[in-house]
């Protein structure tokens, strides 16, 4: 079976600073939800950009579906961080989702009937089709996030990448988001970068820890040593029926 993702000894630098170091990673299953956790500045967004082909490693190899990232972009949907959008821009929900088809049509090309059908199906998948004529700024935070996911789904991806999709959402909206991802992971491989440790405990199938180096064991269980190496502080795991994980309070310096 063709691997969804294969990284071998990947190193990434910004200037003289090493952001990712000796990353070896394989994702074989064509569906399921992988959560990637780690501290700010640990390289999580950089990792996604490497998968998208937006950043080239100075060392190592990257393959998605057996090809370099730049040759497999049509198979990948991407939802960047929420804060990167100007929701005052005069654009409708329908127009935003159609832009997701540009990887198929090319820039400034006329959208065809198949593009419109894909956008319609994507909006129906995230239950936002009835809002297609709304200006994006008129929606709630959770609705906006669903629209951005629909934009990524319009490409009909086999792999969906999400960068902090729960950021800025209240608990109810977050719960709706995770239920949506639980449906989507039945049809494609999903990778979610997040700070929400409680969410990854309940909703994801597998977990990786990233802070320059990657700790991944093809499992939803996180060894204490991996968490402590990632967060550089004491960590404990607690389970009550459904496992959930919490960070200990940092000890005060004497």
Answer positive or negative: Cα dihedral of 84, 87, 91, 94.
Answer: positive
Instruction: To the nearest 10°, report the CA torsion of 231, 20, 152, 184.
Output: -50
Reported pTM: 0.85
Residue range 5-247 in CATH 3.30.470.10: no
Q: List, for the chain, all residue ranges whose pLDDT scores fall below the cut of 50.
A: 234, 237-254
Extents of the domains making up the chain: 5-247
Longest dimension (CA), the chain: 67
- For position 151, what pLDDT does the model report? 94
Model confidence pLDDT, tens digit, residues 168-221: 788 888 888 889 999 999 999 999 998 776 666 678 888 888 999 998 877 666
Q: How far apart are CA 117 and CA 126, in angstroms?
A: 15
- For position 158, what pLDDT does the model report? 96
Size of the chain, expressed as the number of residues it contains? 254
- For position 252, what pLDDT does the model report? 43
Q: How far apart are CA 70 and CA 51, in angstroms?
A: 9
Rounded (to 5) percent helix, strand, coil in the chain: 35, 30, 35
The DSSP result for 235-247, as a single string, is EEEEEESEEEEEE
């Amino acid at each position: 079976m063709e691997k969804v993702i294969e990284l071998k000894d990947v190193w990434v630098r910004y200037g003289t600073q090493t952001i990712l170091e000796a990353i070896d990673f394989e994702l074989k299953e064509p569906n399921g939800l992988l959560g990637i956790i780690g501290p700010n500045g640990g390289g999580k967004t950089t990792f996604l950009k490497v998968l998208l082909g937006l950043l080239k490693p100075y060392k190592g190899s990257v393959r998605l579906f057996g090809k370099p990232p730049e040759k497999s972009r049509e198979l990948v949907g991407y939802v960047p961080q929420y804060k990167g959008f100007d929701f005052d821009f005069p654009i409708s929900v329908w127009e935003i989702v159609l832009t997701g088809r540009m990887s198929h049509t090319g820039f400034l090309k006329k959208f065809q009937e198949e593009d419109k059908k894909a956008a319609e199906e994507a909006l129906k998948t995230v239950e936002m089709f009835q809002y297609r004529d709304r200006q994006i700024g008129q929606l709630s935070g959770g609705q906006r996030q669903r629209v951005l996911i629909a934009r990524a789904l319009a490409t009909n991806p086999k792999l969906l990448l999400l960068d902090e999709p729960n950021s800025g959402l209240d608990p109810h909206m977050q719960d709706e988001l995770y239920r949506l991802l639980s449906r989507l992971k039945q049809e494609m491989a999903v990778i979610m970068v997040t700070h929400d440790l409680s969410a990854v405990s309940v909703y994801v199938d597998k977990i990786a820890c990233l802070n320059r180096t990657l700790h991944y064991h093809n499992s939803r269980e996180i060894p204490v040593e991996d968490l402590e190496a990632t967060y550089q502080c004491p960590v404990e795991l607690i389970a009550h029926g459904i496992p959930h994980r919490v960070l200990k309070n940092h000890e005060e310096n004497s």
